[in-house]
Chain A
Amino acid sequence: MKPSDELLSIEKVTIHYETEDGIVHALNEISLTMKKGETLGLVGETGAGKTTLAKGILRLIPSPPGVIKQGRILFEGTDLLSLNENQMRAIRGNSISMIFQDPMTSLNPVMPVGDQIMEVVEAHTKNASKEEMYQQACDMLEMVGIPADRSHEYPHQFSGGMKQRVIIAIALACNPTLLIADEPTTALDVTIQAQVLDMITALKSRLNTAMLLITHDLGVVAQNCDRVAIMYAGQVIELGTLQDIFKRPQHPYTKGLLGSIPSLTKNVRRLSPIKGLMPDPTDLPPGCAFAPRCQYASDVCTRGVPAIYTLSDTHQVRCVLAEQEVNHE
Chain B
Amino acid sequence: MKLPVVKKQRTLATETWRRFKKNKLALTGMIVLSSLVLIALSTIVIDLATDNAVYNNYVIKQNLRMRLQGPSKDHIFGLDEFGRDIFMRMIWAVRYSLFMGTIAIALSTIAGGLLGAIAGYYGKVTDNAIMRFMDVLLAIPSMLLATAIVAALGTSLTNVLIAIAISYVPTFARTVRASVLTIKDQEFIEAARAMGASDSRIIFKYILPNSMAPLIVQATLGVAGAILSIAGLSFLGLGIQPPTPEWGSMLSSARAYIREGWHITVIPGLGIMITILALNVMGDGLRDALDPRLKN
- Chain A residues packing against B (C-beta within 8 Å): 58, 60, 89-94, 97-98, 100-102, 105-111, 119-120, 123-124, 149, 152, 154, 156-157, 167, 170-171
Contacts and interface: CB of A to CB of B under 8 A. Distances in A.
A111 B193 contact: no
A105 B186 contact: yes
Interface string B205-244: 1100110100000000000000000000000000000000
B73 interface: no
Contacts of A109: 188, 210, 292-293
Contacts of A156: 292-293, 295
B135 interface: no
Contacts of B192: 108, 119
A223 B9 CA distance: 41
A154 B210 contact: no
A176 B197 CA distance: 15
B194 A60 contact: yes
12 contacts: A92-B195, A106-B188, A107-B191, A108-B192, A110-B292, A111-B206, A111-B209, A119-B201, A120-B195, A124-B196, A154-B292, A157-B295
Interface of B: 7, 9-10, 186-188, 190-198, 201, 205-206, 209-210, 212, 291-293, 295
A123 B201 contact: yes
A119 B197 contact: yes
Given A102-B187, A105-B187, A119-B201, A60 B195 contact: no
Given A108-B206, A149-B7, A154-B295, A89 B196 contact: yes
A156 B194 CA distance: 21
Given A149-B7, A156-B293, A110 B209 contact: yes
A107 B193 CA distance: 12
B196 A90 contact: yes
Given A106-B188, A108-B205, A170 B292 contact: no
A123 B195 contact: yes
A288 B286 CA distance: 61
Nearest to A167: B191
A93 B197 CA distance: 8
A90 to B, nearest CB: 7
Contacts of A110: 209-210, 212, 291-293
Given A111-B205, A154-B293, 4 more contacts: A60-B193, A97-B194, A106-B187, A106-B191
Contact of B190 (A91, A93, A100, A152): A100
Nearest to B195: A93
Task: Output the residue of B187, B194, B205, B295 with the most chain A CB within 10 A.
Answer: B194
A21 B222 CA distance: 44
Contacts of A91: 196
B8 to A, nearest CB: 10
B55 to A, nearest CB: 46
A210 B291 CA distance: 38
Nearest to B5: A149
B193 A92 contact: yes
A92 B190 CA distance: 11
Contacts of B194: 58, 60, 92-93, 97-98, 100
B190 A119 contact: no
Contact of A100 (B187, B197, B205): B187
Nearest to A171: B195
A123 B193 CA distance: 11
Nearest to B193: A60
A90 B196 CA distance: 6
Contacts of B292: 109-110, 154, 156
Contacts of B186: 105
A108 B195 CA distance: 13
A108 B196 CA distance: 15
Contacts of B193: 60, 92
Nearest to A157: B295
A60 B197 CA distance: 12
Nearest to B209: A110
Smallest CB-CB A-B distances: 3 pairs: A93-B195, A93-B196, A92-B196
B295 A100 contact: no
Contacts of A149: 7, 9
Contacts of B7: 149
A306 to B, nearest CB: 34
A143 to B, nearest CB: 17
Nearest to A117: B195
A107 B210 CA distance: 12
Contacts of A152: 9-10
A21 to B, nearest CB: 20
Contacts of B209: 108, 110-111
Given A110-B292, A111-B205, A154-B293, A94 B191 contact: no
B187 A89 contact: no
Contact of A94 (B190, B196, B205, B295): B196
A153 to B, nearest CB: 9
Nearest to B197: A123
